[in-house]
Amino acid sequence: MSHRNSYEDLSLKEMGDRATTPTYWKTEEEWLTKHHPSALLLNDDDDENDGIEGREEEEKQRTNQNNSLIAKLKKQLKSEGKQLVVFLDYDGTLSPIVSQPEKAFMSEETRRAVQTVAKKFPTAIVSGRAREKVYDFVKLDELYYAGSHGLDIAGPKGSPDIDYKPCLWAEDVMQNVFETLKKKLDSIKGAVVETNVFCVSAHYRQCENEEDEAEVEKAVDEIVAQNKDNLRKHSGKKVWEVKPKVDWDKGKALSYLLEALKLNDRKDVISMYLGDDVTDEDAFEVLRKLSDDETQGDGVGIVVTKVPKQTKASYSLRDTDEVLQFLTKVGNIDV
């Protein structure tokens, strides 16, 4: 079992704005222990304790046993009879962030872990990618899929029960945005324009310099300005996204799925969401509100990040490897 390394080896440049933005923590340790403890904290029932080298490291891992999410889930699901529902982002959560979006493949081991979880608990993928596109990556029929940041939602393959698109008008508009943006950025080396049916992504991770990156943003700004009543710009990890100006996001997609599954307004339901990007914060906020409402069930947000950052998630995981470890543990819970 691998353990977290210190964040101190990351430079200020690698941390980006997170290094200079006013924060609610002073040290990495405070961020991890007080605000967003690892979802992989060990507990007395964890068989992987045997692999820890040294009693000192073992005791360190056990320091916050009461915060162990796995231990809490085992108790709630086995002893208290609660129901778990799992929501997963794709890029940066199930698959590593890559320079070429079309090559963001998840590992077979991760696919098996997700499938095992889905056999026990309702499981949904909530992604910024087009729904069919993220399905082609995941290749699991038993999941619920919410593509285009929740603007295109469908149930498991062969199930007609869930098929929801809150703004059908946007499909034609976004196709025009895609074609226009592609022409504007065709001469910029490294710029990649991706259509996600109900939103369009302009990736600049492969651009050669900051000037080209600025040109990508300028082109996006021009398109949004031409149709500001219907379009808005959103930032992501080395990507600018054009979305329809509607009151909808990943948090609302989560709420819709809970209602469609008849798992809303129930105190015996635990809603858990794993994500790494700023767009996932809307889902984390919904989960916070669930937990704060005594008439609702528990909401568990888990942010995937290598550096401390401002987030509304309750727990954290460092990277996709830790996500795999965590999902494997969830799938191993007997219910």
Catalytic residues: 89
**Helices 281-292 & 250-260, crossing angle to 10 degrees?**
50
Q: Provide the pairing of β-strand 123-126 with 144-147.
A: parallel
Neighbour order of strands in the sheet with 83-88? 163-164, 152-154, 144-147, 123-126, 83-88, 269-275, 298-304, 315-317
Tell the residue number behind the tokens 């690698």, with chain if given.
14
CA distance 266 to 235: 34
20 CA to centre of own chain = 24
For residue 213 the two structure tokens come to 């990156």
CA distance 131 to 148: 7
Largest separation between any pair of C-alpha atoms in the chain: 63
Dihedral angle, C-alpha 114, 120, 121, 122, nearest 10 °: 80
